[in-house]
């Protein structure tokens, strides 16, 4: 019975979104407006290089379509050249927009610089169509020799731009530089940065 329900859900997803959605789980409980999964969940959208692992998943209807996925407990999302993890995820399969909360960590192979960007924060909102990631709450970012902390950030992945705001603290061990600022914009491709309301400390050996 479980296998039949899962196959029906995949078929509906194929009709509504013109994409193939595979879901595996230990247990499933379907109803008219939502389908609940639990235990060793694996969701895959092949066309978008998107996978989701969690221990709990609810798929809900929105506007008569199976659109909203809500996952919790050890959530891991794998994207094209990237990975996110956290405690809770809400994701709209149609718009490709989502929010992940609770001990959020992420690592991305930047498209413009081919460097890996490591990110942690409390809440991260993402738009996979536009490739934009916005985070708030105890933000920590590391890229090569640069480590930064702030209250919030925006990462425009296609452009290779990271904008940090709200009590920015930045350290560059290669340049022996420490900086406090209201706002910092990092261009990962050009390996440059701009800042406003700055206090800079240069260490001279």
Q: What is the pLDDT of residues 34-81, one digit of tens each?
A: 999 999 999 998 888 899 999 999 999 888 888 889 999 899 999 988
What mean pLDDT do residues 149-168 have?
94
Question: Is it the case that residue 205 has pLDDT exceeding 90?
Answer: no
**pLDDT at residue number 3:** 44
Q: Tell whether 1 and 62 lie within a shared domain.
A: yes
Of 14-28, 119-133, 170-184, the one with minimum mean pLDDT is: 14-28
**pLDDT at residue number 16:** 42
Rounded Cα distance, 122 and 135, in Å: 7
CATH number where 137 lies: 2.60.450.10
Rounded Cα distance, 142 and 174, in Å: 13
Q: Tell whether 91 and 128 lie within a shared domain.
A: no
Q: Tell whether 33 and 74 lie within a shared domain.
A: yes
Distances (CA, A) of 16 to 63, 166, 174: 11, 41, 51
Domain that holds residue 84: 1-95
Residue 49 Cα to chain centre, angstroms: 14
DSSP state of 46: G
Q: Tell whether 109 and 79 lie within a shared domain.
A: no
Q: Tell whether 71 and 105 lie within a shared domain.
A: no
Q: Tell whether 55 and 117 lie within a shared domain.
A: no
Q: Give the number of domains in the chain.
A: 2
Position 4 confidence tier, pLDDT thresholds 50, 70, 90: very low
Q: Tell whether 150 and 136 lie within a shared domain.
A: yes
Name residues whose C-beta falls within 8 Å of residue 37's C-beta, 6 or more positions apart in sequence. 23, 25, 27, 28, 29, 56, 57, 58, 59
111-128 pLDDT, tens per residue? 777 789 999 999 999 999
Contacts 24+ apart (CB under 8 A), 69-72: 69/43, 69/93, 71/41, 71/43
Position 18 confidence tier, pLDDT thresholds 50, 70, 90: low
The burial class, CB within 10 Å (0-12 / 13-18 / 19+), for 31 is exposed
Residue 146 Cα to chain centre, angstroms: 21
Residue labelled with tokens 């859900």 = 9
Question: Is it the case that residue 1 has pLDDT exceeding 50?
Answer: no
* Residues written for the chain: 205
Reading the block at residue 130, the tokens are: 């536009």
What mean pLDDT do residues 135-164 have?
94
pTM of the predicted model as reported, rounded to 2 decimal places: 0.86
Of 16-20, 67-71, 99-103, 177-181, the one with minimum mean pLDDT is: 16-20
């Amino acid at each position: 019975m479980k296998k039949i329900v899962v196959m029906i859900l995949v078929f509906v997803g194929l009709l509504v979104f013109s994409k193939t959605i595979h879901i595996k789980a230990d247990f499933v409980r379907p109803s008219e407006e939502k389908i609940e999964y639990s235990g060793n969940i694996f969701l895959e959208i092949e066309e978008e290089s998107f996978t989701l692992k969690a221990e709990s998943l609810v798929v809900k209807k929105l506007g008569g379509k199976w659109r909203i996925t809500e996952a919790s407990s050890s959530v891991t999302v794998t994207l094209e050249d990237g990975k996110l993890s956290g405690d809770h995820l809400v994701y709209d399969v149609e718009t490709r927009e989502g929010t992940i909360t609770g001990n959020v960590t992420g690592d991305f192979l930047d498209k413009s610089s081919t460097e890996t960007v490591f990110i942690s924060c409390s809440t991260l909102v993402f738009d996979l169509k536009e490739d934009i990631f916005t985070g708030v709450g105890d933000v920590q970012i590391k890229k090569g020799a640069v480590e930064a902390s702030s209250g919030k950030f925006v990462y425009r992945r296609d452009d290779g731009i990271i904008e940090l705001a709200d009590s920015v603290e930045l350290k560059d061990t290669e340049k022996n530089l420490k900086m406090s600022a209201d706002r910092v914009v990092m261009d990962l491709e050009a390996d440059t940065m701009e800042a406003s309301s700055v206090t800079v400390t240069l260490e001279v050996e």
